[in-house]
Structure 1
Amino acid sequence: MASSKGKQPVKLSSGIHAGAGIPIAEPAKPILTTEFGTKVVMHNVIFPSGDEQDYFPMQEYRSGEHVYSEVEVIQRALKRDAGDDTRRVTTVYFMSPPGLGKTVLGAWLAREHGCPYQVINCVSSMTDLDLLGSHVLVGQETIWQDGPLPSIIRATNEHGMGILIINELNALTTNAQLGLNPLLDKQQCVILTQNNNERVQVQSGAHLLILASMNPDIMGVNELQDAVRDRSNIVLFFDYPSVEKEADLVHMLTGLDTAIAARFASVINECRLLKTRDRQITQAPSTRGLLDWINYAPVLGTEIAFELAVVNRYGTTEDERNALKMIARGKHIADLVVTSASFKEV
């Protein structure tokens, strides 16, 4: 099983190879001509630079004697689908609170595979045209501007593999969600209804990995449509890591001694219980919040850094902020002193 221990993240062997090496950035918004002679301005996609943050598995999924990390689950799904040309799109849904590294995971996978990726941060005001594209004026002519969906498909076809990261999928309206259906089912395409019904399809020999997250805290803004949910291949539930695993992660990312990191993680774990158990706060502190507290503690002091990076960030009312401060006092964070010398180079 891949482990969060050690300095190196897991390596992939999915059987899918995007090409030789990591591609460098291409010119912004290249103009291409489709097979119908239509000019298209491509939406920017991201090419890994090699400097993407490492990802360290934090979840475990058990089946009998087998224990798989989230990376191993995705790797095995990709390996299976790579051998089946009828399955050119692998769709993984994440049910997870924010700040647990899902976007980092997607960018890291793109780096490991040397393939382009696209990130869509969904909001309730998005329409299907925001995803598919629209006509724009370029110079003296009106041409089609690809949205993020056709752009990542075209980039996937060119490079052999691509990754689409969709954050907060359930924030999309019904119409915007349903625009994804042709990509998620056997058609494996999007249909540009405003561009002569152009069909942009994942081609034979190429593979698109879709990582779509859903935050339970925004459930009900727009319900995830049954047709969209049913088209997922795998659904992974992410939970907050244990104090031990989170301390290991902090150590690997910052160089902070594991024992000291565990004290910080223990405080954040208690704060999370205010939401998950006691329902005293509306949003639990994420790993991102923990890292910000630790990073600013040497320059602001542990207590001030906690107030600014945790209390004011996750306490939306005076009562919530007081509840978080009580945790800090009970865990004696004033005794938790770190300096720049507490961090070793990673």
Structure 2
Amino acid sequence: MVQTQTIPYYHATGREEEVFTHAFRNKIPFLLKGPTGTGKSRFIEYMAHQLDQRIITISCHEETSATDLIGRFIIKGAETVWLDGPLTTAVKEGAIIYLDEVAEARPDVIVAIHSLTDHRRELFIDKLGETVKAHDNFMLVASFNPGYQRGFKELKPSTRQRFIAVSFEYPEPRVETEILVNETQVNAEIAKKLVNIGNKIRNLTELGLTETVSTRLLVDAAKLIHSGLPKRLSVHTAVVEPLTDDLQTLEALKDICDLMI
């Protein structure tokens, strides 16, 4: 018996669905820009489902190399065999490849995808001496967090201009409340309080937080509350503690949350 795949929940905040669909049809690479936890990955999962396409997600980090994406030779018994990497698989089979936080990857990754992001739409596998033309349904999608990367790891303008781009921000309070209710089944009153806490902390720029409260953290807090964990403890562990290790900042945030919840 074939199980029906659950549609990933996503609440559009603009015309990003329309833009993505046209990018897919026109075989244009797609770049998502925005802070952590604003729904970038969920959006890609949702659009892959809407377009009935397979999605292969790679969470990039400082050790992610072109070899990891393209493939490598491995020893199998007494033989040396070639094993396609996730990028090569997506190119051949016509899947959506999603490079999450692409700016974190090693520079050779950017070099490897260049020929897939222009009119050529091909991947050169230097270890095999082969060039693979991309399947018609292949699509390259990448994301990065401009605020976090600024001054550390940036995408070069020459790379950015190979994509069309959409910016993701935290949803407006009404939409974010709806997201919490739909994701966790927590009641609307609690969801609204959590969203108010999130927006309060986001506006406290004087705390100097590297990252602020993401919708993801609010969803986690709502899940804990809905499952029966006390509200204050849920907010402390799901929202406050992940943000900082500084004791004074922790106490200040906990006091604010206790008053608001």
TM-score, with length taken from structure 2: 0.91
In the alignment, the residues of structure 1 paired with residue 142 and residue 238 of structure 2 have an alpha-carbon distance, to the nearest angstrom, of 27
Aligned to 1:76: 22
Matches within 5 A, 1:33-182: 50-57=5-12, 59-60=13-14, 69-79=15-25, 81=26, 89-156=27-94, 162-182=95-115
What are the superposed Cα offsets for residues 72-125 of structure 1, whole Å, 9 maximum, x if unpaired?
A: 22123334x1xxxxxxx3211111111122212222222222221110111111
Q: Encode CA deviations 1:250-303: one digit per residue, 9 max, x unaligned.
A: 1222333334321211111111222xx334322111111101111112422000
Which residue among 222, 241, 246 is the counterpart of 2:176? 246
Contact 1:130 1:147 in 2 (8 A): yes
Shift of 1:214: 0.5
Q: Percent identity?
A: 25
Structure 1 residue identity aligned to 2:66: D
Q: Give the 3-state SS of the residue equivalent to 2:206 in structure 1.
A: coil
Q: Secondary structure of the equivalent of 2:123?
A: strand
SS, match of residue 207 in structure 1: coil
Q: CA deviation at 1:201?
A: 1.4
In structure 2, C-alpha distance between the alignment counterparts of 1:279 and 1:324, rounded to whole Å? 9
Q: CA RMSD in A?
A: 2.0
Once residues 329 and 257 of structure 1 are traced to their aligned partners in structure 2, the CA distance between those partners, rounded to angstroms, is 19
Say which structure, 1 or 2, has more relative contact order (CA 8 Å, 6+ apart). Answer: 2
Say whether 1:314 aligns with 2:260.
no
Distance change in 2, residues 1:220/1:303 (3 Å): same
- Listed as ranges, the matches of 1:155-304 within 5 Å are 155-156=93-94, 162-195=95-128, 197-203=129-135, 206-216=136-146, 217-232=148-163, 234-274=164-204, 277-298=205-226, 299-304=228-233
Cα distance in structure 2, aligned partners of 1:190 and 1:279: 46
Secondary structure in 2 matching 1:190:
strand
* Secondary structure at 2:241 match in 1: helix
3-state SS in 1 of match to 2:242 = helix
Is 1:115–1:163's contact at 8 Å kept on the other side of the alignment? yes
CA deviation after TM superposition for structure 1 residue 220, in Å? 3.9
Whole-Å Cα distance in 2 between the matches of residues 76 and 114 of structure 1? Answer: 15
In structure 2, distance between residues paired with 1:279 and 1:166: 31
Extract unaligned runs of 5+ from structure 2. Answer: none
Q: In structure 2, what is the Cα distance between the partners aligned to 1:253 and 1:194? A: 45
SS of 2:82 mapped into structure 1: strand
**Structure number, greater radius of gyration:** 1
CA–CA separation in structure 2 for the residues paired with 1:201 and 1:241: 39
Give the 3-state SS of the residue equivalent to 2:252 in structure 1: helix
Residues of 2 paired with 1:220 and 1:134: CA distance? 33
Q: Is this contact kept in 1: 2:101–2:143, CA < 8 A?
A: yes
Return the letter of the residue paired with 2:61. V
Q: CA deviation at 1:49?
A: 6.3
SS of 1:186's equivalent in the other structure is coil
Using the alignment, how far apart are the partners of 1:174 and 1:124 within structure 2?
A: 9
In structure 1, distance between residues paired with 2:100 and 2:245: 23
Contact residue 243 and residue 266 of structure 1 kept, 8 A: yes
What is the alpha-carbon distance in structure 2 between the residues aligned to residue 321 and residue 154 of structure 1?
49
Give distance in 1, aligned partners of 2:201 and 2:207.
Answer: 11
SS at match of 1:278: helix
Taking a change above 3 Å as real, the CA distance of residues 91 and 279 of structure 1, as seen in their structure-2 partners, is farther
Q: Show the counterpart of 1:4.
A: none
Q: Answer 1 or 2: which has greater helix percent.
A: 2
Q: How far apart in 1 are the matches of 2:7 and 2:80?
A: 37
Amino acid at match of 1:291: V
For residues 294 and 77 of structure 1, the distance between their equivalents in structure 2, rounded to whole angstroms, comes to: 35
